[in-house]
């Protein structure tokens, strides 16, 4: 019978989890800020993807909001779920125009991998066996 108390996170797993989580968070924060600033490459990227430039602000707010929810320990699992949806849309968009889709997929894997290592509640939900 399993205990309802999640096993504590080792310091090593916590550090690795924080590092793995920091990489996509920094990328997402940079991406959101770029959507607010709208430099020429962002405007050209929106045109290439077939989206109007007017969507940049809304997508930037959505991206920033989901990332902040992910950063708050109490809501990090919800944030990961929301970011998975966001990154799924990014994957679909890049596939639609024939671009490489690896970046959003890798970011999603890093988000969940980092969260799995640092969050005992998630490991209790998804137990991996040795």
Distances (CA, A) of 2 to 26, 118, 121, 122, 129: 36, 20, 14, 15, 13
Backbone angles phi, psi at 56, to 5 degrees: -60, -45
pLDDT digits (tens, 9 = 90+) for 42-84: 999 999 999 999 999 999 999 999 999 999 999 999 999 999 9
Q: What is the pLDDT of residues 13-35, one digit of tens each?
A: 899 999 999 999 999 999 999 99
The structure's pTM equals: 0.88
**How far is it, in rounded angstroms, from Cα 85 to Cα 76?**
14
Domain-by-domain residue ranges, the chain? 11-125
């Amino acid at each position: 019978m399993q205990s309802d108390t999640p096993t504590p996170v080792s310091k090593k797993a916590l550090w690795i989890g924080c590092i793995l989580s920091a990489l996509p968070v920094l990328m997402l924060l940079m991406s959101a800020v770029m959507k607010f600033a709208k430099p020429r490459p962002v405007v050209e990227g929106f045109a290439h993807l077939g989206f109007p430039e007017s969507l940049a602000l809304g997508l930037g707010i959505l991206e920033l909001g989901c990332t902040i929810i992910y950063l708050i320990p109490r809501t990090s699992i919800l944030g990961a779920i929301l970011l998975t949806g966001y990154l799924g849309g990014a994957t679909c968009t890049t596939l639609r125009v024939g671009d490489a889709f690896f970046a959003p997929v890798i970011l999603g894997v890093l988000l969940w991998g980092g969260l799995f290592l640092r969050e005992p509640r998630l490991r209790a939900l998804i137990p991996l066996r040795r």
